Amino acid sequence: MRTVNIHEAKTHLSRLVDRAAKGESFIIAKSGKPMVKVVAIDAPAAGEMRRVGFMAGQFAVPDDFDRMADDEIEKLFGGDA
């Protein structure tokens, strides 16, 4: 996330607000210390982002997934001795 100082924020406020509205949030700092975070109004809150199931139906897991490459793994750990 981009951090800008107060002077830069005042100088380029309209451009920064346009970018934030498009989803590019940023932080305004004073003397290097972060003060505020600027985000779009419709941006999801940090705890509200849904990640589980975001790729549902886009790939298939084989039935033998947990047994795939058993032979190779066994060889790596000295199973062929």
The answer to whether the CB of 1 falls within 8 A of the CB of 27 is yes
Other C-beta atoms lying within 10 Å of the C-beta of residue 56: 7
Check which CATH number belongs to the domain holding 30 and give it. Answer: 3.40.1620.10
What is the per-residue pLDDT across 2-38, written as a single tens digit (0 to 9) for each? 999 999 999 999 999 999 998 899 999 999 999 999 9
pLDDT at 43: 66
Give the mean model confidence (pLDDT) for residues 43-69. 77
Residue 32 in any domain: the answer is yes
Domain count of the fold of the chain: 1
Measured distance CA(26)–CA(60) in Å, rounded = 38
Domain membership of residue 13 as a residue range:
1-40
Cα–Cα nearest to 31, from 11, 3, 6: 6
pLDDT at 62: 86
Residue 35 in any domain: the answer is yes
Q: Which two tokens stand for residue 39?
A: 């985000």
